[in-house]
Structure formats: C-alpha cells, structure tokens
Amino acid sequence: MSTVVLIGAQWGDEGKGKVTDYLAEKAEIVVRYAGGNNAGHTVVVGDQTFQLHLIPSGILYADKPCIVGNGTVIDPEVLLDELEGLKNRGISIKNLRISPKAHVIMPYHRIIDAADEKSKGTKKIGTTGRGIGPAYSDKASRVGIRVTDLIDEENFPLLLKGALEEKNRLLRDYYGIPEMDYNTILKDYQKYAADLKQYVEDISVLVEEAIKEDKNILFEGAQGTLLDLDHGTYPYVTSSHPIAASACLGTGIGPTRINRVAGVAKAYVTRVGSGPFPTELFDNTGDYIRKQGHEYGTTTGRPRRCGWFDAVVARYSARVNGLDYLAVTKLDVLTGLDTIKICTGYKYRGEVISEFPCGRDALKDCEPCYEEFSGWKDDISLVRNYQELPDNAKKYLERVSEVSGVPVGIIGVGPKRDQTIILKEMY
Ligand code: IMP
C-alpha cells in the first residue's frame, strides 16, 4: 500500500486534474484536502470533458470513496450543482464523503470577497471571487460555520443569526453596500443541508482505517505551492495551504502516514491573478503558449499569464513539499518553438541567487537567468514511450530534472488520460 500526495509545484493550473485522474485509477480512495471552488480540474475521459471544482477526480471511477477533507471550504450550492451535473452525465456520486469539520462558504463571503478586492484598487489580489479568503478568515477568527453546524437543525439558525448580524454591520458601515436577508439565506442553506447531510462522515476515521487496511490512497492537492498562504508569494496567494504538509492537517492524519509526494509542473509556467512572475513572457512566444495550451482559467475564464519553466520555483517546491517525483505536463504545447528556455537562477541586486526569495517585493526585482535549448517540430502527442520523444525534448526534460533536483516520473503529451508517458509508478 502507498499513500501519495499530489501537489501543484507552481502557481496552480499545472494540469493536476489529468495526473490525479491517472493516479486515481490505481488508488482505492481519493481525498481532496484544501481549497474550495476556486480550483478547477479538467479531466478528459474518452470524448468527454469534466470540469471539477471541489469534488475529487476519483469520482469518475464508480468504485472509489471520494473524500472532501476538513481543510477545504465548501460552497454548498456549487457542490450540489457539481453533483447534479455529474449525476446527469451518468456518474455515480454515492461514494462521496464530506468532513463535518470543513468550513462552509456563505453568501456574505462572496460579497465581501468582491467588495474587498474593489477596495484594494490596483493592489487587488485578483481572487477568483468565490468567497475563499473571507471563509478562511472566519475559520481563523473562530467565527466560521462548519458542515457539522450546517446540518445541525437546532443550532444553525442561531449561528447564522449571530454571524449575519456582524457581517451586515460590516457590509453597511464599512463597505457601504446593502445588508443581506437572514430568512433568504436560512431557507437556502436549510435546503442545502438536507441535500448534503447523507454524505457527511468523520473522514479522519475513514482514512486512518484505509491506511490500516493497506489501501492505496491519493491525496489530491488544489492550487499550487506558490499560492500557499505561508510559502507562496504572499500576499498574492490563496488563503489555504496547497502544499503537501496540508494533506495531514486537512484530513486529520499524522505525517508518518504519508509515503510519497509528487509535484505537478507544466513544461512552462502560468499564473492567473496579480503578483510577481519572473519568467513571464509578454511577446509572441507567450501568446503562442497561451493559444497552444488553451491557457484560460477553468473557474473564471481569465487568460493566464505564460512564461518559461522556472527551476528556482521547482527547487523551492521540491524543498517545501519534499518532492519525490515531478510530473511534467503539457510538454506537447512547446512543440513548434525554435528555442525553449529554462530559468536556472535569478539576478537580484547584482548577484545571482539560486534560492527562492522570501521578501514581499524581492521577487518582482528578480531577473531570470536563462539556459537556451533547441526546440522540436515533431508531433509528440502520440508518443507513449520516453525513448520515442525527439532528442531535443529528451534533452530539455533531462535538464528540467537536473536543475529542479527531482526525477521526472510522469510526462504529459496531451489532455487525454492515455496521452501520458510513465517513467515511475507512484504506488
Ligand atoms: P482566491 O483563492 O480566490 O482567494 O484567489 C487568490 C489567488 O489565488 C488569486 O491570484 C487567484 O487567481 C489564485 N488562485 C486561486 N485558485 C486558483 C487555481 O485553482 N489556479 C490558479 N490560481 C488560483
């Protein structure tokens, strides 16, 4: 048996959906441990495309328990919509389990998210507007509403009343926007509670039991390392912990239970929202990558900022996650480029640094130092065996692995399940 944590090694959108889907096939349980419906995982099965925001990709396999951990924040309306969408496409959702300790995104969280971004003006974070930050703020401030509260018929109305009084003061007196109506929210959320109650179970017990039974468990990360609240490019981060350590916290198991950590990195880098991005491309190559890679947000539709592979980021990610393997996705997107670059270090205040800086403004003053590689023209989307890749693609990957300090275990050459080259089995 093995427990594998799969995380995003860049700024999110690394193509984790496809890799988790691949790994989910061999897993017996799939667990999502952090984030909310700010995430968007695209999974292509045959000629069908699924876009999942909160539900683990394992749901596409009928026989696997799929767990939404306590580290997530749940918008019940969105979750129920997602479940309905899956049901309508013939996917069984009976194996879904939701932690009673997960926090609930309330309608005022979404309103506050938007109002807060507006008030920040040019300093806005560029959030997904899903209420993620305000929901996690309430959790940390100990005024949040959890799933266990939502399904508690007696207490929920009282908790909502208390919370809404405070939020309405904030909306009215600080943001100058209309108050929200208690009865409307109560009615909607009582309905959501009734629909979700059947899936709620202490998932820490479930996962620990599965570990004792020697099952393969996949912990599916959302977002990416550089969006981590502690280890990301603060303040341009999300409000949760996408890194591997969070799999324990967001599930309720101990660190000794994790066997392996794999990081997903695109063969280039993208970022959505604001914040520094040293290898960002503002030229035709950036446009080419965006077009070839369909780099538009799954959740918001926003065009993603595109740039060269950044090995400083990859090494950092290897350190803070303890990466055993890299899954390099979307290698096919680079096909057709004459030259491809890898950033191996940053020039900062006249010196070359090789470690990712900590300072709030340091990254925006970092200039990338590049190594250049010749590209390849052959279509690689049908390649399933490493040896059959063009020599230049192999040279590129070998250098990616060398400068990142992590062996490459999986290579993605297209969006479909089988467009994958496996070098190392993860379980
Ligand atoms: P929030 O998570 O909506 O609060 O947004 C905070 C930052 O994280 C913004 O820059 C978002 O664009 C970014 N972000 C959140 N979720 C994702 C994701 O799944 N992929 C990429 N960026 C994300």
pLDDT of residue 18: 87
Q: Which of 198, 233, 263 is the last residue of a domain?
A: 198
One domain for residues 241 and 383: yes
**65 found inside a domain:** yes
- The pLDDT assigned to 254 comes to 97
Q: What backbone phi and psi angles, to 5 degrees, belong to 76?
A: -60, -35
pLDDT at position 1 is: 72
Give 237 Cα–ligand 1 centroid separation in angstroms. Answer: 7
Same domain, 255 and 400: yes
- Whole-number pLDDT of residue 427: 86
Same domain for 245 and 171, yes or no, is: no
Q: Provide CB contacts within 8 A for 22, sequence distance 6+.
A: 410, 417, 420
Identify the residue whose C-alpha is closest to ligand 1 atom 12: 273
Domain boundary residue, one of 150, 165, 198? 198
**Which residue's alpha carbon is nearest to atom 16 within ligand 1?**
38
> What Cα–Cα distance (Å) separates residue 259 from each residue in 50, 229, 254, 348?
29, 24, 11, 37
In a domain, 67, yes or no: yes
Ligand 1 pocket, CB under 6 A: 12-13, 38-40, 125-128, 130, 132-133, 222-223, 227, 236, 238-239, 272-273
Based on the domain organization, do 259 and 364 belong to the same domain?
yes
In a domain, 95, yes or no: no
- Strand (E) or helix (H) holding 189: helix 182-196
Ligand 1 mutation target, pool 228, 272, 277, most atoms within 8 A of CB: 272
Active site residue 41: yes
Q: Which residue among 13, 21, 324, 332 is the active-site one?
A: 13
How long is the chain? 427
Question: Are residues 175 and 318 located together in one domain of the fold?
Answer: no
Q: Domain of 352?
A: 3-90+203-422
Any domain includes 98: no
Q: Among 10, 128, 280, 329, which is best to mutate for testing ligand 1, by the most ligand atoms less than 8 A from CB?
A: 128
Burial class (CB in 10 A: 0-12, 13-18, 19+), 323: buried
CATH of the domain at 158: 1.10.300.10
> Both 82 and 167 in a single domain?
no
| Mean pLDDT rounded to a whole number for the chain | 95
**Which positions of the chain have pLDDT values less than 70?**
none
| Nearest CA residue ID for atom 1, ligand 1 | 127
| Counted domains in the chain | 2
Say if residue 55 is in the same domain as residue 129. no
Cα angle 351-269-413, degrees, rounded to a multiple of 5: 135
> Which pLDDT does position 58 carry in this prediction?
85
What pLDDT sits at residue 230? Answer: 98
Task: Read off the CATH number of the domain in which 220 is found.
Answer: 3.90.170.10
Question: Are residues 115 and 190 part of one domain?
Answer: yes
Would you report the helix, strand and coil content of the chain in percent, each value rounded to 5? Answer: 35, 20, 40
Cα–ligand 1 centroid distance for 117 (angstroms): 13
**Span 309-367, pLDDT tens digits:** 999 999 999 999 999 999 999 999 999 999 999 999 999 999 999 999 999 889 999 99
Assigned domain for 96 exists: no
275 C-alpha to ligand 1 centroid (Å): 11
Residues 232 and 165 in one domain: no
Tell me, yes or no, whether 180 and 138 share the same domain. yes
Q: Which of 138, 168, 198 is the last residue of a domain?
A: 198
> Are residues 214 and 352 both part of a single domain?
yes
Assess if residue 156 is contained within a domain.
yes
Atom of ligand 1 nearest to the CA of 133: 4
User: What pLDDT sits at residue 31?
Assistant: 96
Q: Are residues 128 and 229 in the same domain?
A: no
167 assigned to some structural domain: yes
Q: CB-based burial of residue 140 (10 Å sphere; 0-12 exposed, 13-18 middle, 19+ buried)?
A: exposed
